[in-house]
Amino acid sequence: MPDLWLIGIGTGNPAHVTLEARDALREVALVMVPRKGPDKADLADLRHKILRALDCPAPVLEFDMPVRDERLAYRARVEQWHDEIAEIWAATIARARPGGPVALLVWGDPGLYDSTLRIAARLTPQPRLRVIPGITALQALTAAHAIAFNTINGAVTVTTGRRLRDHGWPEGAETLVVMLDGECSFGTLDADGVEIWWGAYLGMHEQILIAGPLAEVAQQIISCRAEARARHGWIMDTYLLRRK
């Protein structure tokens, strides 16, 4: 098993790729790019665009992502999905027989709400890993809105849409950043006194930003998100919530 390099590529803008990531992509022997179906072809195209912009000389192999079994409970569904992805990675690498490191391009940062490291842990034999950090959606969001991530001496809770829906606003939390929320879970909250800063396609030409009192802009975000997802076939978005 060759070395596996997990390279954070930010939120889709080639300018967000670090110099370390650029240099690494000029050293790898193979880049693997996932395909997630025709509706999300733009995601593979974006990876190819980044590779071209950085003059990556390595050959690129695409692979088809498996589909989650929605009949299973959430945890079991994700675990099975990760097993299947690891098998596909192993088969793709075995078929290519690269003479050096293999790279995977990871949206944002490989260590923040991304499963690439957990999937890599399933490979046998275990490859030697190199993780190259990338600009996260958290950084891109606060930069786009020109706001601070935290208040003075204030803590920030980073959570998921699923947990926000299931458990509500975490006790004692002042600022929340919500990731992986396809259900606009902010709609389940008591909006009184809550501000929201929402962004989609952060750092890209298609970037959309909405901010304001949650009670006033929630429906605008929901409508805008649905329209953008229908237009592009996919959407990546995140948001920050803060109580006054």
The DSSP string of 102-126 is EEEEESB-TTSS--HHHHHTT-SSP
pTM for this structure? 0.91
Domains identified in the chain and CATH numbers: 4-135 (3.40.1010.10), 138-243 (3.30.950.10)
pLDDT mean across residues, the chain: 94
So what's the pLDDT on residue 41? 64
Per-residue pLDDT, 71: 94
Q: Of the given ranges (32-41, 85-94, 195-204), which has the lowest mean pLDDT?
A: 32-41
- Mean per-residue pLDDT for 223-243? 95
Across 119-146, average pLDDT: 96
Please say if the pLDDT value at position 182 is more than 70. yes
- Is pLDDT above 80 for 67? yes
List helix spans (H) across 97-233.
116-120, 137-145, 161-167, 214-232
The pLDDT value recorded for residue 226 is 97
Strands 194-200, 237-243: pairing is antiparallel
Amino acid 36: pLDDT: 80
* Distances from the Cα of 171 to the Cα of 141, 157, 167, 176, 220, angstroms: 24, 10, 10, 11, 27
- Pick the closest to residue 132 from 145, 149, 114, 144 (CA basis): 114
pLDDT, average across residues 35-53: 82
Q: Tell me what pLDDT residue 44 has.
A: 86
Model pLDDT for residues 68-111, shown as the tens digit of each residue:
999 999 999 999 999 999 999 999 999 999 999 999 999 999 99
The residues, any chain, with a CB within 8 Å of residue 205's CB and separated by 6 or more, are none
Q: Is the pLDDT of residue 39 over 90?
A: no
